[in-house]
Amino acid sequence: MRKILIVDDEKMMLRIATRILSKDYETFCASSGAEAIDLFEQQHPDMVLSDLMMPEMDGYELHRELQDRSLEPVPVMFMTADESDESESRSFEVGAMDYIRKPLKPEILLRRVKNVIDNLDKIHALKKAVDVDLMTGLLNKAASQREIAKLCETREGVLMMLDLDSFKLVNDIYGHNMGDKILIHFSELIKRVIRSSDLAGRMGGDEFIAFCHNIQDESVVVEKTKYLNDELLLAAKKFMGDDMQIPLGTSIGVVFVPNEGTSFSALYQKADQALYNVKQRGKHGCAFFGESKKSAAASDTKNNLSEIKTILGERNKIPGAYAVDFNGFQLLYRHLIRMRENHPTENQILQITIESEQFSEEFRETLIHSLRRSDCMTQNAPDQFLVLLMDATPEICEKVEQRIKDRIKFKIDIKSESIS
């Protein structure tokens, strides 16, 4: 039921207006401007029916004060015994939605109030159409930035940037209709992992954003990430078949509010940096802005062994090879050389060159998910990748090479040698 706040310093007028409106609306009464302000902030009415001439604070002043306290326009209808055209004209100039003279006639008041409510519904419908992404039903980019910026300034919670991994392959292999189907389903999954009071939007393409109130626990975000990845993979196989080989998933960059600030633009950049970090770690997971700083701070204190293992270890078990930068790959290679001195094992190094760097991103995804979690890979040139196959014989190496070739449609050249 719609709420109406009735304001008048005459108790008889409050009773009359309440009797007329209470059958169709939930009504609240205030006998002064100060009382009306308190009730407005407590009840958040859909509209205000206010007398114009009141002591201490008249209707115009009340409207201005309510408007200053609200982020949205406040729908107000003024009522007065003043017969002059001046008061009516001024009422509309200050933004009133309607104006009615006393004494109140039930049928006229009800019709006027209904017209205001109907107009509000039309305005809200138009606003929703402007703010909503038509494909997914989430907020569009402009609305997401505007509404989430308000939350970041006033609320505690978590800001998340979500990006679909390997989504381009869906469009390239299965067509844009299938891509749209995946985007719509992923949007539905996002709606499932947030509450009705939270906000989510589509920033464009396969990029999404969400703000969840009162979340400061990393484990909650990790659970949401796991659910999204698990359910997305199930849906992808349902839509495209169990033999679907695209490493589809989601990576999430996370920043806590207000721990890392309240400015949306600054928080967005931090979430973007966290998203980049999880992409570098192999995707299909989440990364928290500032976690590297936490790890560095933890290393300055005397942690027990369990705590140190937690700091050193991976946050999520991401499928596929361990993707690192070239420096990390070089350190691991040198360590394997040293390991062979005391623990001889057969490891292989692969050099893979693709026919064109335009396939770089696609091949990187395929390569990661063609290898075991114990293997390691890096990209050392726009068209070249290196792989360390752990505890692998030349025969195993040949099988891996064939598996990689079977999963792509362009030419590659693979050279392999044992690590000695």
pLDDT, mean of residues 245-257: 92
pTM surpassing 0.85? no
**Do 409 and 376 meet the contact criterion of CB atoms below 8 Å apart?**
no
* Nearest to 277, CA basis, from 269, 268, 287: 287
Task: Give residue 295's Cα distance to chain centre.
Answer: 26
Least confident of 30-34, 50-54, 192-196, 312-316: 312-316
Residue ranges of domains in the chain, CATH in brackets: 3-130 (3.40.50.2300), 141-312 (3.30.70.270), 322-418 (3.30.70.270)
Between the CA of residue 192 and those of 156, 186, 223, 224, what are the distances in Å?
21, 10, 13, 10
What integer is the mean pLDDT of 259-265? Answer: 94
Instruction: Give the pLDDT of residue 73.
Output: 81
Q: Which of residues 209 and 302 earns the better pLDDT score? A: 209
Q: Which helix (H) or strand (E) holds 170?
A: helix 167-174
Specify the range with the lowest mean pLDDT, choosing from 257-261, 284-288, 298-302, 401-405: 298-302
What phi and psi, each to the nearest 5 degrees, are found at residue 204?
130, 145
Q: What is the average per-residue pLDDT within 2-25?
A: 95
Question: DSSP state, 132?
Answer: B
Q: Is 163 exposed, middle or buried (0-12, 13-18, 19+ CB in 10 A)?
A: buried
Write down the pLDDT at residue 279.
84
Token pair in block for residue 294: 């936490």
Which residues lie closer than 8 Å to 103 by C-beta, 6 or more apart? 81
Give 143-156 pLDDT, tens digit per residue. 999 999 999 999 99
pLDDT at 146: 92
Q: Quick one: three-class SS letters along 39-93?
A: HHHHHCCCEEEEECCCCCCCHHHHHHHHHHHCCCCCCEEEEECCCCHHHHHHHHH
Share of the chain above pLDDT 70, in %: 92
DSSP class of residue 258?
T
Confidence class for position 361, pLDDT limits 50, 70, 90: confident
Residue 241 to residue 419: CA distance in whole angstroms:
39
Confidence check: pLDDT of 313 > 90: no
DSSP bridge partners of 249? 165
* Res. 294 pLDDT band, cuts 50 70 90: very low
| C-alpha–C-alpha distance, residues 278 and 250, integer Å | 10
Q: What is the pLDDT of residues 69-96, one digit of tens each?
A: 886 788 999 999 988 888 888 888 888 9
Report the pLDDT value the prediction gives residue 297, as an integer from 0 to 100.
Answer: 41
